[in-house]
Amino acid sequence: MPIYEYHCPNCNHKFEMLRKVNEVNPNCPQCGGNQVKKLVSSFGVAGGSGGNSGCSGCAGGSCSTCH
């Protein structure tokens, strides 16, 4: 199960939670609000070396060889 990051606009609380992929957003653990928004996390983003975000498969910046 991936860890998702959520933000509650009600109390401005940010938290992480282990959720199933298609599970609905949890309530805020701080204020109990149900307006929490799922943040875009870095889950699944490979690479990080060289600062090239072109392709995680070939790490060459061009996907012509791996896709």
List contacts with Zn ion (CB under 5 A).
8, 10-11, 13, 28, 30-31, 33
2-8: Cβ within 8 A, 24+ apart: 2/41, 2/43, 2/44, 3/41, 3/43, 4/38, 4/39, 4/41, 4/43, 5/38, 5/39, 5/41, 6/36, 6/37, 6/38, 6/39, 7/36, 7/37, 7/39, 8/33, 8/35, 8/36, 8/37
Output 32 or 57, the one with its CB closest to Zn ion.
32
Q: How far is the CB of 17 from Zn ion (least distance, A)?
A: 13
Q: How far is the CB of 33 from Zn ion (least distance, A)?
A: 4
Output 17 or 31, the one with its CB closest to Zn ion.
31
Output 26 or 56, the one with its CB closest to Zn ion.
26
